[in-house]
Amino acid sequence: SYELTQPPSVSVSPGQTARITCSGDALPRQYTHWYQQKPGQAPVLVIYKDSERPSGIPQRFSGSSSGTTVTFAISGVQAEDEADYYCQSADSSGTYPVVFGGGTKLTVL
């Protein structure tokens, strides 16, 4: 199987920058996408193709890629950003066309 690895939790104070990593062997060759999920709600796409923001997503949300690790960042974190965040990508062979990371719980202190 193919796995994407995320830290289980990240904590930041309001106004700081939160960074969540996602690691996988195929990430140098595959785009990564990020979803935000608040309790009791469906996931929402917040970053696609490593660093693109969908319409309506705040500019403080960003993404970057370097080798086998991609990073999702929220600058100037607000209380409303507290949520679970999932990365999503694929393996290189096409056997696993959609894989989610295990998710990261972002806590705003």
Partner 1 sequence: QVQLQESGPGLVKPSQTLSLTCTVSGGSISSGNYYWSWIRQPAGRGLEWIGRISASGTTIYNPSLESRVTISVDSSKNQFSLKLNSVTAADTALYFCARGVFWTGYYSYYYMDVWGKGTTVTVSS
| Per-residue H/E/C for 16-63 | CCEEEEEECCCCCCCCCEEEEECCCCCCEEEEECCCECCCCCCCCEEE
Based on DSSP, count helices (H) and strands (E) in the chain, helices before strands: 0, 9
96 binds partner 1 (CB under 8 A): yes
28 binds partner 1 (CB under 8 A): no
When the beta carbons of 25 and 76 are compared against partner 1, the nearer one is 25
When the beta carbons of 103 and 108 are compared against partner 1, the nearer one is 103
Residue from 16, 23, 26, 44 that binds partner 1 (CB under 8 A)?
44
Strand-strand pairing, 99-100 and 83-89: antiparallel
List of residues contacting partner 1 (CB under 8 A): 1, 29-31, 33, 35, 37, 41-45, 48-49, 54, 86, 88, 90, 95-103
